[in-house]
Amino acid sequence: MAMMYSEKVMEHFSNPRNVGEIENADGVGEVGNAKCGDIMKIYMKINGDTVEDVKFKTFGCGAAIATSSMATELIKGKKIDDVLKLTNKAVVEALDGLPSIKLHCSVLAEQAVKSALSDYYRRQGIDPVPIVGEIVDEDETDIGSCALAFSK
């Protein structure tokens, strides 16, 4: 089974970074996929325009844990404008690839980050949709649409 995953995926699965919760987080996002059972929750502490700290809790397969870990590594300490540019493709590339059947995990990681930012903006009294975009509903995110989203 490990042969289908890159060394980076196995490392982030075995030793995930930024696991946990942030008390009094400025933004919390949770997304899931009913078809595969993965659930990701991202907590953000934002200072000014920077994601000062980020933690995650993920219930799912090794790829879900690895993509959550990598996504948090890619956004920690970054300006919100840069975090908004995070794509599932960037997560996959940072992990040196994922099997096509696991690409939906990278989509969930991207959506969890965007969901946390949406929550942050809502708490500020700002409509997040023009800034963050729509968050994909779990019922709309199936393995086929995730593979399609990756190819865009």
User: Can you give the residue range of the structural domain that contains 47?
Assistant: 2-147
Range 60-75 average pLDDT: 97
Looking at per-residue pLDDT, the higher value among 114 and 2 belongs to 114
Residue 37 confidence (pLDDT)? 86
Alpha helices in the chain (DSSP H): 7-14, 62-75, 80-83, 88-94, 103-123, 129-132, 143-151
Q: What is the pLDDT of residues 2-43, one digit of tens each?
A: 558 999 999 999 999 999 999 999 999 999 987 888 999 999
Take residue 127 and report the two structure tokens written for it: 């409509």
Report the candidate in 7, 51, 1 with the shortest Cα–Cα distance to residue 29.
51
User: How many domains is the chain partitioned into structurally?
Assistant: 1
Q: Look up the CATH number of the domain holding residue 8.
A: 3.90.1010.10
What is the C-alpha to C-alpha distance for residues 54 and 103, in angstroms, rounded to an integer? 22
Please identify which of the residues 39, 80, 105, 146 carries the catalytic annotation: 105
Residue 151 confidence (pLDDT)? 35
Catalytic-residue membership of 61: no
Q: Is 108 part of a structural domain of the chain?
A: yes
Q: Is 30 part of a structural domain of the chain?
A: yes
Q: Is 103 part of a structural domain of the chain?
A: yes
Q: Is 70 part of a structural domain of the chain?
A: yes
What is the C-alpha to C-alpha distance for residues 4 and 97, in angstroms, rounded to an integer? 10
Q: Is 152 part of a structural domain of the chain?
A: no
Q: What is the pLDDT of residues 81-107, one digit of tens each?
A: 999 999 999 999 999 999 999 999 999
Please identify which of the residues 25, 31, 36, 42 carries the catalytic annotation: 36
Catalytic-residue membership of 146: no
Whether 124 contacts 44, CB under 8 Å: no
Q: What is the pLDDT of residues 118-141, one digit of tens each?
A: 999 999 999 999 999 988 755 444
